[in-house]
């Protein structure tokens, strides 16, 4: 699905060759500051490499319309932006940004339940949520779009261990049910070993290990 060749981004990341397969769960691990988040941003063209290229479905990533590309390859950053207003507003704005009109309170509540926010009302103000709750709301917004390809950057960094396991298991189940593709940066080698089809280790801007 993704093929990276002779890729270089500033002095942050350098990869000679790497392929990420369709329908697999790929976990990216490594020391902090090693280039993992940069790697994810390159995959949906949030940033562009200085040299080399990335192919997506056999076509150079730069040839895709960037807006359409990011609607197909959805990314959840480590510190996602929460829209001002209510939880319902956050779902509604997500749909508007993606030119969709399928507002459904029942669906919103189902998603809140999936991410462990069943105690929250749709009319509650999103700004009053805790850091971990905001992270889970952002994940619910992403799942609303039912992506086939999902990039997650430390999706459970603000969660306790028990909640982290529940959330990761839910996301992995969601992707597997769709035969989708997940690329996830995680600080937890245990999470990676438990759920990943492949583990890619990036340290100091280069591939350390692929297994």
Q: What's the CATH code of the domain at 155?
A: 3.40.50.300
Structural domain range at position 183 = 2-210
| pLDDT per residue rounded down to tens, the chain (211 residues) | 999 999 999 999 999 999 999 999 999 999 999 999 999 999 999 999 999 999 999 999 999 999 999 999 999 998 999 999 999 999 999 999 999 987 899 999 999 999 999 999 999 999 999 999 999 999 999 999 999 999 999 998 889 989 999 999 999 999 999 999 999 999 999 999 999 999 999 999 999 988 8
- Main-chain phi, psi angles of 63, to 5 degrees: -85, -10
Q: What angle in degrees, to the nearest 10, is found between the helix axes of 161-177 and 131-144?
A: 0
Structure confidence at residue 102 (pLDDT): 78
Query: Contact 109/121 with Cβ under 8 angstroms?
Result: no
| Tokens standing for residue 42 | 């390159």
- Burial label for 27, CB within 10 Å (0-12, 13-18, 19+), is buried
Contacts of 87 (CB under 8 A, 6+ apart): 108, 112, 120, 121, 122, 123, 124, 125, 126, 137
Query: Contact 91/145 with Cβ under 8 angstroms?
Result: no
Structure confidence at residue 157 (pLDDT): 87
* CA separation for the pair 23, 32 (Å, rounded): 27
* CA separation for the pair 6, 152 (Å, rounded): 24
How many Cβ atoms sit within 10 Å of the Cβ of residue 16? 12
Query: Contact 180/152 with Cβ under 8 angstroms?
Result: no
Task: Count the domains in the chain.
Answer: 1
Three-state SS string over 44-112 comes to CCCCCCCEEEEEECCEEHHHCCHHHHHHHEEEECCCCCCCCCEHHHHHHHHHHHCCCCCCCHHHHHHHH
* CA separation for the pair 11, 55 (Å, rounded): 21
């Amino acid at each position: 699905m993704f093929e990276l060749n002779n890729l270089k981004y500033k002095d942050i990341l350098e990869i000679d060759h790497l392929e990420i397969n369709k329908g697999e769960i790929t976990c990216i691990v490594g020391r902090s500051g090693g280039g993992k988040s940069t790697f994810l941003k390159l995959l949906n063209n949030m940033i562009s490499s200085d040299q080399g290229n990335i192919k997506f479905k056999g076509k150079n990533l730069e040839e895709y319309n960037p807006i359409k590309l990011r609607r197909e390859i959805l990314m959840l950053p480590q510190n996602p932006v929460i829209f001002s207003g209510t939880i319902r507003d956050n779902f509604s704005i997500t749909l508007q940004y993606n030119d969709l009109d399928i507002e459904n309170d029942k669906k919103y509540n189902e998603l809140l339940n999936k991410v462990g926010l069943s105690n929250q009302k749709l009319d509650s103000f999103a700004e009053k949520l805790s850091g971990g709750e905001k992270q889970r709301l952002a994940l619910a917004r992403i799942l609303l779009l039912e992506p086939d390809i999902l990039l997650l950057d430390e999706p459970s960094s603000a969660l306790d261990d028990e909640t982290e396991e529940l959330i990761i298991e839910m996301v992995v189940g969601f992707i597997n049910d769709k035969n989708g593709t997940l690329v996830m940066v995680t600080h937890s080698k245990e999470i990676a070993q438990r759920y990943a089809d492949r583990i890619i280790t990036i340290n100091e801007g280069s591939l350390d290990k692929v297994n």
